[in-house]
């Protein structure tokens, strides 16, 4: 009897054991699984509202796309609605059902009964735009989960290159962010107010510059400075001085006007760029800077002129093969932290859009140029990108005019020409052996800036002085005032330029260039 009681107690304890374990260690809810972010009730409400309200689709068409819907049946219904709208047909329960029958999707979505049920669930189209935005947010959350899961999976693989994976992840995230960049329509009054504000600010400046001044007067007269949100292309064949032109501008902006600028150099290292800037600012031959064989006067010149450059707000990034997505991240940070007002890229064809697949290089360049234009608008600063020209200009006949670059000479020209607000060419006739123009003017050391496209202004040509040994561009008038040496003379202003009586002429330094107004008859020259 005692043994039997003991056995019953043991069995009872065994029966209680699972119950005790179940109470003390329940299964955590998150271990039961997770559902992707979704809003099925809102998807039904939106689709039902579109079919009962005439103007409902016009509200959601700018917000929603087919893939934003989580349920496949809802994607097919929305696709049928889009087809009806594109065909200018009415959108209601019957027309949508008929359209789904034509495409063979009626059974996949649950038949005519399900379409009718969607309309029965909705009383009106109130809050339709708000509901649509929630559906988009759920879609973006699902995309982020998908991308992060894919990146995580690849990160565990030993064969994966981490740098390539980071570029790919950034590219895919950039693509999602671009999809979500939408701006609402606004009434014109605040826009006009902003325009008037800028006009008033420009009027207060004596030089009449409304944008970022380049320091080149003839260029600023045409452009009024580089304008905010503009994407500018500066193109030319190799050895035309594209980098020198950009560095001269950057020096003018940063040193003379205290404007913060950033230079992304994909071709040259930061040390090479610094050498070029020193050549430019100090007017010292580049070869002497490389080998250090400077004269005493040049050392003094270096010590005197390099100080403003040391404190100049110039920021350099020499990352090779920079991707447009990486540039976007860096540019945002530069604007936020250093208040960059102008951004230079040297040069566009060396950039890439890694992490994305393209059928051709032209497609990749198209994405890059389109992204740079979008970035200029987003940051509200001018972005200036250098670009190469193809070889067609070299083989073109036609003499002096034949060697002048054209828009069709841009490498991968279609997208660049379309996206750019302004396209400028640098042309040095001397490079092709032309030393005198049609009017007989000397072209030695002359660079022509050709504004071939100007979306918000006039086109035209202007000339500058280019000094190759200093990698420097000058205004022609600056060059005259600084480099055409002064005269000390007692010549009567109404007399001929020939020394008679006690007329004296002193030349302080040998002349290398003479303005056309000072051309001297060598037969009568007294010196």
Catalytic residues: 267
Total Cβ atoms within 10 A of residue 442: 15
Provide the angle, in degrees to the nearest 10, between the axes of the packed helices 324-338 and 361-379. Answer: 20
Cα diameter, the chain: 156
Q: How far apart are CA 248 and CA 274, in angstroms?
A: 12
Total Cβ atoms within 10 A of residue 475: 20
Residue 312 and residue 249 in contact, taking contact as beta carbons nearer than 8 Å: no
Residue 513 and residue 483 in contact, taking contact as beta carbons nearer than 8 Å: yes
| Strand order across the beta sheet in which 342-346 lies | 314-317, 261-265, 342-346, 383-388, 231-236, 422-427, 446-454, 460-467, 472-474
Q: How far apart are CA 384 and CA 325, in angstroms?
A: 17
Cross-strand pairs, 235: 387, 425
Q: How far apart are CA 357 and CA 216, in angstroms?
A: 41
Q: How far apart are CA 408 and CA 423, in angstroms?
A: 11
Q: How far apart are CA 379 and CA 387, in angstroms?
A: 22
Q: How far apart are CA 120 and CA 93, in angstroms?
A: 10
C-alpha distance from residue 175 to each of 5, 137, 143, 322, 330 (Å): 74, 15, 11, 17, 17
Q: How far apart are CA 263 and CA 77, in angstroms?
A: 50
**Residue 2, token pair as written in the block:** 């005692």
Q: How far apart are CA 414 and CA 366, in angstroms?
A: 8
158 CB-contact burial (10 Å; exposed 0-12 / middle 13-18 / buried 19+): exposed
Residue 500 and residue 489 in contact, taking contact as beta carbons nearer than 8 Å: no
Q: What are phi and psi of 410, to 5 degrees?
A: -65, 130
**DSSP string of 59-125, one letter each residue:** HHTTT--GGG-SSHHHHHHHHHHHHHHHTT---SHHHHHHHHHHHT-TTTTTHHHHHHHHHHT-S--
């Amino acid at each position: 009897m005692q043994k039997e009681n003991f056995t019953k107690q043991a069995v009872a304890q065994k029966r209680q054991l699972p119950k005790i374990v179940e109470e003390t260690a329940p299964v955590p809810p998150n271990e039961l699984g997770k559902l992707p972010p979704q809003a099925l009730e809102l998807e039904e409400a939106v689709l039902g509202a579109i079919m009962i309200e005439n103007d409902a689709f016009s509200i959601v068409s700018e917000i929603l796309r087919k893939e934003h819907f989580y349920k496949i049946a809802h994607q097919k219904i929305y696709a049928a609605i889009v087809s009806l709208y594109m065909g200018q047909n009415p959108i209601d329960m019957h027309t949508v059902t008929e359209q789904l029958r034509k495409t063979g999707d009626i059974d996949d979505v649950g038949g005519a009964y399900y379409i009718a049920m969607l309309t029965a669930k909705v009383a009106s189209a109130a809050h339709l735009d708000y509901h649509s935005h929630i559906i988009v947010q759920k879609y973006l959350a699902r995309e982020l989960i998908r991308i992060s899961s894919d990146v995580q999976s690849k990160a565990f693989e030993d064969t994966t290159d981490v740098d390539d994976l980071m570029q790919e992840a950034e590219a895919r995230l950039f693509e999602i962010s671009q999809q979500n960049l939408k701006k609402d329509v606004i009434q014109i009054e605040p826009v006009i107010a902003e325009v008037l504000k800028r006009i008033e600010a420009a009027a207060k400046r004596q030089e009449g510059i409304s944008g970022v001044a380049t320091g080149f007067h003839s260029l600023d007269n045409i452009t009024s400075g580089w304008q905010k949100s503009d994407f500018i292309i500066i193109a030319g064949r190799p050895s035309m001085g594209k980098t020198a032109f950009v560095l001269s501008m950057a020096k003018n902006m940063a040193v003379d006007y205290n404007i913060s600028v950033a230079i992304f150099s994909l071709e040259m290292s930061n040390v090479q760029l610094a050498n070029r800037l020193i050549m430019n600012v100090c007017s010292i031959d580049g070869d002497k800077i490389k080998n250090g064989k400077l004269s005493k006067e040049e050392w003094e010149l270096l010590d005197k002129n390099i100080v403003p450059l040391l404190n100049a707000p110039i920021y350099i990034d020499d990352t090779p093969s920079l991707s447009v997505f990486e540039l976007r991240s860096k540019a945002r940070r530069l604007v936020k932290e250093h208040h960059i007002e102008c951004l230079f890229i040297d040069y566009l064809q060396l950039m890439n859009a890694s992490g994305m697949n393209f059928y051709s290089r032209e497609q990749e360049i198209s994405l890059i140029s389109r992204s740079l234009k979008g970035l200029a608008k987003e940051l509200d600063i001018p972005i200036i990108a250098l670009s190469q020209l193809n070889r067609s200009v070299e083989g073109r006949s036609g003499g002096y005019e034949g060697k002048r670059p054209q828009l069709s000479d841009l490498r991968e020209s279609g997208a660049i020409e379309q996206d750019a607000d302004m396209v400028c060419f640098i042309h040095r006739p001397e490079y092709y052996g032309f030393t005198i123009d049609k009017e007989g003017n000397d072209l030695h050391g002359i660079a022509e800036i050709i504004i071939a496209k100007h979306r918000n202004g006039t086109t035209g040509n202007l000339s500058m002085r280019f000094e190759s040994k200093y990698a420097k561009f000058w205004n022609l008038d600056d060059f005259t005032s600084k480099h055409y040496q002064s005269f000390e003379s007692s010549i009567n202003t109404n007399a001929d330029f020939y020394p008679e009586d006690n007329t004296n002429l002193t030349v302080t330094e040998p002349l290398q260039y003479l303005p056309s107004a000072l051309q001297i008859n060598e037969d009568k020259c007294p010196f």
